[in-house]
Amino acid sequence: MSDGTNEVQPKFDTLAVHAGAAPDPATGARATPIYQTTSFVFNDADHAASLFGLEAFGNIYTRIMNPTQSVLEARVSALEGGTAALAVGSGHAAQFLTFHSLLEQGDEFICGRQLYGGSVNQFNHAYKKFGWNVVWADATDPSTFETAVTDKTRAIFIESIANPGGVIVDIEAISAVAKKAGVPLIVDNTMATPYLCRPIDFGADIVLHSLTKFIGGHGNSIGGIIVDCGTFDWMGAKHRYSTLVEPNASYNGMKLAETFGNFAFAIACRVMGLRDLGPAISPMNSFLILNGVETLALRMAKHCENALAVAQYLQGHDKVGWVSYAGLPDNKYHQMHKKICPKGAGAVFTFGLKGGYDAGVQFVENLNMFSHLANIGDTRSLVIHPASTTHRQLTDEERTAAGAGPDVVRLSVGIEDKDDIIGDIRQALEAVTA
C-alpha cells in the first residue's frame, strides 16, 4: 500500500492479465485491440502542438507509440515494479536504445562475459562504430566489476540468469559496485522473467527483456522492452548523462530528467532514441506478446518443473559429462538461485557430452520432438549446439568464457509432458556414437 490507502496491490497473476488494460472505450472489446494504423488524428492545432512539445501524452505516429504497445509497456512495467517502459522491435533494439541514451563517444560500460553470444557480438563489434567500449568482467565474481571501473565507466550490464549456461548472477552484489561507481545497473531479465526474479528488488536501475522469449512465449513474434525502475538520480549523478540532463534542442531546452523525474529514462529512450533511430515494435507483435504475458506465471512454473526433471535425468546418464542447472542441489549456483529466483532456476540450461563437439552435433540431429533452432522461451522444447551456431562468430576462448564450449548443448525445456521430453532425449543419447 504505497499510497497510504486500504487499496490492495494486485498480485503477479492478476497483473499479468489486467495491468494497463481496460475494455476498449469505443467498442467495449474486452481484449486489447490491434491498433493497426500508422498515425493518429489530432483534436486541433493546440492538441498537436502539446503532443509534439511533450506537454501532453498521446499518440502521434506508430513509430513512436501505439495504444496496443502502450498496454504491453504498462503491463511489463507493472510486473517488474518499474515506473515506465518502452517496447521496441527486438531485444537487441532495447539494448541499443538503452546505451544510446547513456553513452557518448569514448564512454565505457562493464559487462559480465557470461552472456548471450549475439550480445557479445553486438557489444564487441557493432558498438565500436559509435565509439562505445565494452569492458569485460566475470559475472560470477562481483570484485571483477569493481576493478574494471574507470572514470570512463557509465553503466554496468549483466543478465539475471546468464544465457546459455544458466548461471544465477548475484545482482545485489554487483548493484553495490554500480552504486559505488555512481552508474546505473542494467539487468537483462529475459531468462528469468519477472515471475522468477524482479531485478529492481536487488538494486537494478534499468531492466531489459527480449520479449521474443518467455514473456511472449509462443515463438510467434519479435520484440524487446526497456523498463525504467525509477531508481537512478540522473540530475544528481556523479557523471553527466547529457541526453537526460542537458537542455534538449528538440524540445525547447527541456531537461528530460528534471521534467519527468523517476520515469525520465524511459522517456529519453522513446523521444531521443526510438523517435530518431526507429526500431519500432509492430501493433500485431505487441498484441501477440500481450496474449503471452497473460499465461506467463502458468508457463514459467511448468517450464521450471520440466527443466529440473530433465536436468536430473541427464545428470545420471553415462554419456553426459556434466550438467549446469542451478536447480540441482549440488550446482554451485544453487544457493544463489534460492536467493535471486526462489520459484525456479529457469528453463534454459547447458550440459556437456563426453564425446565433445561431434557428440553434440549427433545428439541434436537425432532429436525428434525438440526443435533445432536459435531461440529460447517457446512453449515447445528447443535445442541448439552453441559452438556451431549462436556462438560461432566468437573465438574458442570467447566461446569457452561464455559457457559455449565445443561439448556444450543448450536446452530450452518446453511445457510438454516431461516424460515425453525425457523420452526424446533418451533415444537421441542412445544414437550418439562419438
- Tens-place pLDDT, residues 21-32: 999 988 999 999
What is the pLDDT at residue 2?
Answer: 41
- In this structure, is the dihedral angle defined by the CA atoms of residues 27, 32, 33 and 37, taken in order, positive or negative? positive
pLDDT of residue 6: 60
Strand partners, 84: 228
Mean residue pLDDT across the chain: 94
Name the pLDDT band for 44 (thresholds 50, 70, 90): very high
Contacts of 376 (CB under 8 A, 6+ apart): 163, 191, 213, 214, 347, 348, 382, 410, 412
Task: Please tell me the predicted confidence (pLDDT) of residue 404.
Answer: 75
The pLDDT tens digits for 371-391 are 999 899 999 999 998 877 777
Q: What percent of the chain has pLDDT over 90?
A: 87
Q: Is residue 406 pLDDT above 90, yes or no?
A: no
Structure confidence at residue 399 (pLDDT): 75
Question: Confidence class of residue 398 from pLDDT cuts 50, 70 and 90?
Answer: confident
Strand partners, 168: 161
* Residue 403, pLDDT above cutoff 90: no
Cell of 427: 533415444
Confidence (pLDDT) at 423:
98
Mean predicted confidence (pLDDT) in 145-163 = 97
Q: What domains can you pick out in the chain, each with its CATH number?
A: 12-292 (3.40.640.10), 297-430 (3.90.1150.10)
In this predicted structure, the answer to whether residue 1 has a pLDDT above a threshold of 70 is no
| C-alpha to C-alpha distance for 348 and 398, rounded to whole angstroms | 20
In this prediction, residues 399-407 reach a mean pLDDT of 76
